[in-house]
Amino acid sequence: MANVVVIGAQWGDEGKGKITDLLSRSADVVVRYQGGVNAGHTIVVDEKVLKLHLIPSGILYPETICLIGSGTVVDPKVMLSEIDMLLENDIDISGLQLASTAHVTMPYHRLLDQAIEQRRGEKKIGTTGRGIGPTYADKAQRNGIRVIDLLDKKRLRERLNVPLSEKNDLFKNIYGVNQLKLDDLIEEYLSYGERLAPHIVDCSRTIHQAARNKKNILFEGAQGTLLDLDHGTYPYVTSSNPVSGGACIGAGVGPTLIDRVIGVAKAYTTRVGEGPFPTELEGSINDQLCDRGGEFGTTTGRRRRCGWFDGVIGKYAVEVNGLDCLAITKLDVLDELEEIQVCVAYELDGERIEYFPSSAEEFARCQPIFEKLPGWERSTADCRRLEDLPSTAMNYLRFLAELMEVPIAIVSLGASRDQTIVVEDPIHGPKRALLSV
């Protein structure tokens, strides 16, 4: 039995959906612990492309409980559309559960998110406009609507009165947005609650019962380490804590329940939205990585910014998450390159540094210091064992493992489930030993 956290080790979009899908095969319970519909992952199963934003990819396994935890913020309209999509594809959703204490993203959250971002102008953050930040803000201000409130008309009316009045004042007097009607919201969201009612559970009790029964629990984070509200590239971050410690808060468990933390990183680096990006590329190589990697956001469709692998933020992710091992994804995207570069340090105001600066202004001034490695210039898409990889590809993986001082347990070479090499058991393998391949 092992309880495992899977996190993104970069700026999100690392391919966590596929890795979570792989690990879900041996999980009894999969828990999504933070974020909302600002996240998204794509799963390819039997040539079907399934795009999910809230529901964990473990839903593809009929015996697995998939729990959306208390730390998430839930847009019930989107969740129900995902349920309908899964049902249309003959996928069993009987194991889907939703925390009664998760907060609900309301229409006024989306309107406010978009209005605030537009008002920022050139200083925009690059949010998805899906209302995530305002939902978490209402949660912190004790003005939030929770899933359990959607089950009781009287309670929902009482809970909505204050926040809706506040938001309507903002819409009318500051942002010039049409006001929302209380009765319309109540009827709409009660109907969502009625459909979701069979899935609503006590999150913490469900998880602890599974732990007492010696079940394997997989905690799935959205976004990535560098988008963490406290530990990322603030202010260009998300509104929650994607780092591994967020699993304890978002799921309602103590840290002693966690046995292992697995990080997911691309063989290069991407980010979407605004903010500093030291290894960002321009021109033909950027376009090549973007096109070969299909680097367009699952949630927004925005083209992602691409760059070389950044070992500085990689080592930072190892530290703040306590990573035991890594899954490296999209190695095949580098197949055609004659030369590959890896950032091993930064130059900041004329000085070499090997740490991630906490100041956004300093981070923006960081210039990458690269080491060059030879490419392999041949396809790896059909490789299924380490021995099948070109020697230069093996050397590249070894270089990354030694740079970050953490083993690589999984190598992904495409979107399909079978395009994966498992180097060592990511759940029960040796902890914190360097990769030897």
Catalytic residues: 13, 41
Show the tokens assigned to 156. 């929902």
- The contacts of residue 187 (CB under 8 Å, 6+ apart) are none
The type of residue at 313 is I
How far apart CA 52 and CA 127 sit, in angstroms, is 18
Query: Could you give the angle at the alpha carbon of 128 between the alpha carbons of 77 and 55, nearest 5°?
Result: 45
Q: Is 90 helix (H, G, I), strand (E, B) or coil?
A: coil
Tracing tokens 């990585």 back to the chain, one arrives at 289
Element (H, E) at 111: helix 107-120
Q: Which residues pair with 372 in a beta bridge?
A: 341
> Exposed, middle or buried: residue 137 (CB in 10 Å: 0-12, 13-18, 19+)?
middle
φ and ψ at 40, to 5 degrees? -165, 150
Residue 134 and residue 106 in contact, taking contact as beta carbons nearer than 8 Å: no
Q: Which residues pair with 66 in a beta bridge?
A: 30, 96
Residue 14 and residue 8 in contact, taking contact as beta carbons nearer than 8 Å: yes
Per DSSP, helices labelled H in 124-152 are 132-140
Residue 96 and residue 199 in contact, taking contact as beta carbons nearer than 8 Å: yes
Q: Per this entry, what is the length of the chain?
A: 437
Q: Is 280 helix (H, G, I), strand (E, B) or coil?
A: strand
Instruction: Choose among 26, 4, 1, 432: nearest CA to 221.
Output: 4
Q: Is 244 helix (H, G, I), strand (E, B) or coil?
A: coil
How far apart CA 19 and CA 43 sit, in angstroms, is 10
